[in-house]
Chain A
Amino acid sequence: MIRQARAARLVRGLLIAWFVLPVIPVVLWAFANRWPFPDRLPAQFGFDGVRTALRSDAAHALVVSTGLGLAVALLATPAGILAARALTTGKVFAPRLVQAVIFAPLVLPAFAVALGLDVLVLRLHISSTLAVVAILAVAALPYTTSVMRLAFGAYDVGYDEEARTLGASRWVVAVRVQLPLLAPAISGAAFLAFLVGWSDYVVTLLVGGGRLISLPIIVASFASGTGNHSVVALLSIVAVLPPLILLAVVARFRGRRGAQS
């Protein structure tokens, strides 16, 4: 019995360590001025990495990534909401086919789509930024649609019906009943869509034509060089912090609202 409990505790510890481990060197390197091998800890802490990062295009990349994330969220969330609503109410022609189409981006490799469209985008003189946003919004659609499908599936139409018998018009029902009740799910869907735009590398690289410098692009260019550990670590933290903060905000929002239902 005791051996079982100890084994379970060991497994638990290993699993937690598994998720936490990659974070440690990042945090250490971010503020390490000097960390010669084979020292276990940095020899000297400092802000050299911060200075290098500020001199680079990091600030610009941050703006680009945020812009991409927001653009994708703004496009994919409403489309996902509409699609999910239609699929749940069942008034869709060939629902199985429609579902397959909407979820196709999950199946297809991003690089293949980027590769295929790049030539077309160049020939048709479409703005590369627009093309990147469009492709990423399509990539985010499966996520927003499935999150909203779950929400609509669990939504009790009784609320709407009750409101209508109390005299609320369709518009009022939509804004004052459905929106607040669905807000947690919508925020979750928007967050996932934002993440798709924020995190992308291949599409930004191939279709962006070298002009779209997002955080992943700039981290990759530093990481493929040598001796840039500090900058890489710091920029990694910058690339992770905003989504983490958003995740915390969305989780609290969902937690509070979820308790009400």
Chain B
Amino acid sequence: MSTARVPGVSVTDLSRQYDNASRPALDGVTLEVAVGASMALLGPSGSGKSTALRLISGLDEPTRGTVRIGGRDVTATPAESRGVGMVFQRPLLFPHLSVLDNVAFAARAAGLSRRDSRRDAARYLDLVHVGDLADRSSAAISGGQAQRVAIARALAAKPAVLLLDEPFSALDSVLRTEMYRLLREIRAEVDPTIVMVTHDQAEAVAVADRIAVLIDGALEHESDLATAYSRPSTLAVHRLMGGLTEVAGTVAQGAHHSDLGSLPIPADCPISEGPGVLVLRHESVSICLAHDATISAAVVAIEAAGVRRRITVAVGAARVVVDLAPDIDVSSGSTVGLIIPPSARWVVQRL
């Protein structure tokens, strides 16, 4: 993290404790998002991700910690002056304004005349490809279109940071894919700093450069995409990222010992001694003929995963999930060889 570059948004020790709650909704989170970068806040329900967004936007006040936007401390600044835009799950278009006037709202609120604010707004409507809906009433458009208008409206306010709170979870998968594409176009055109909350790791990966994982109010992981998959900081993060294989064992002398055998692990693993769980991505391991590999496993389950097939193999008590290339064919009960490349191995702490 270069000190010469001013981060787009950063939070330090951000915490929020509600009065009647047993544990804080957010506890000591420190994060930084570079200008123009896009970060996904991933986590299960109740993990505090929406709370984090509300604190960054200023709709809620932290019990501890600071929020900085463009290097300035905005913790005491009211939400309307922070220059933060937010799009929610529901588009919340103002029912008494047309589509165009909705997008023009920020300009109107800032004091521009109706004509001037509308001119600028039309450009943003074109950016999200709904320019022809400008004169429609906000109730007369579909859900997907409304969400586009909501994004245009937030962008038209020219915010320093754009916050997205699970904005696509109400849309079907086809619309969602279109929205990911739209977001990529917007990033190319306008280059906003984005923080997006999602509970779906596939969505996080489609939209963001970096991933931060919140669990029970605490930041458990923060890295670029590839690292989030291959080197999760905890078991919970591994599961959240869709990891399916965990093998309990012990770490000693630079290797993980379990029913799979003694597998040397990377030197920078967090566990160097004692009990640890070996986590593997099902995409990174493969099978071969039984006599070609050092590990021999029995196929115990076969299931469909989209076009591919996903098998579970057993070595003693250990279970490893493997995604098969479409051309490979196995049958349940057969013995196969298991290939676990050294780069695919990672060990985390037991829960």
Chains A and B touch each other in the complex, with CB atoms below 8 Å apart: no
Contact residues of A with B, CB < 8 Å?
Answer: none
